[in-house]
Chain A
Amino acid sequence: RKEVEQDPGPFNVPEGATVAFNCTYSNSASQSFFWYRQDCRKEPKLLMSVYSSGNEDGRFTAQLNRASQYISLLIRDSKLSDSATYLCAVNGAGSYQLTFGKGTKLSVIP
């Protein structure tokens, strides 16, 4: 089993739709969790850190489920500008290295 696995894409959704991505991780000692956004041929940019209590930033909501070892990202009212690849990233206990999933490509269609 890979350390970090994401929903296979691509996700093609109409503008205004709600879309959810899941990401599972295998290391139960993982401590920090992140969602990054990566546009085509660009660097990853942090979208959100994911906290145990869940967190929301505008149209974006991130959740962590430690018991089932997964994190999720919910995007409400999708915009064309949300089209990108979404990467989840995890770092283990005491480890600075981030382990990334392969990413899920989202295309928001007019």
Chain B
Amino acid sequence: GAGVSQTPSNKVTEKGKYVELRCDPISGHTALYWYRQSLGQGPEFLIYFQGTGAADDSGLPNDRFFAVRPEGSVSTLKIQRTERGDSAVYLCASSLGSLQDTQYFGPGTRLTVL
């Protein structure tokens, strides 16, 4: 079946601009996660949704970052007033929703802030 999909695959923007990154999870997965991966590092947790609600947003670095999942499926990560330090690969993952369930990752969006 279809895996997690993310769009766009690459995004280049200028410092100060607003960007939206989209994630389409595996059908039937109630849990959705956003991670960020910088070069040479492992993925770093940002936020987790169970259904429509953000169950844990403790990883969001500051209030420029916001994510929504209005219908419990597709999610959008929104970054305002982008900074060069936001450049990274943004990974989305989904799982069936229990604690032990495997998280399946999408291919990521590579964000470059000039």
Residues of A near any B CB (own CB < 8 A)? 4, 31-32, 34, 42-46, 49, 87, 89, 91, 94-103
Contacts and interface: CB of A to CB of B under 8 A. Distances in A.
Contacts of B42: 4, 87, 89, 100-103
Contacts of A99: 45
B99 A91 contact: yes
A42 B108 CA distance: 8
Contacts of A32: 99-100
A97 B59 contact: yes
Contacts of A45: 105
B105 A44 contact: yes
Contacts of B105: 43-45
Given A97-B33, A97-B56, A102-B40, A43 B45 contact: no
30 contacts: A4-B42, A31-B99, A32-B99, A32-B100, A34-B102, A42-B107, A43-B91, A43-B105, A43-B106, A43-B108, A46-B104, A87-B43, A89-B42, A91-B99, A95-B56, A96-B31, A96-B33, A96-B50, A96-B56, A96-B99, A97-B45, A97-B48, A97-B58, A97-B59, A98-B35, A99-B45, A100-B43, A101-B42, A103-B41, A103-B42
A31 B99 CA distance: 9
B12 interface: no
B99 A98 contact: no
Contacts of A100: 42-44
A84 B100 CA distance: 25
Interface string B66-108: 0000000000000000000000000100000001101111111
Contacts of A102: 40-42
User: Of residues A32, A42, A43, which shows the largest number of chain B Cβ atoms within 10 Å of its Cβ?
Assistant: A43
B114 interface: no
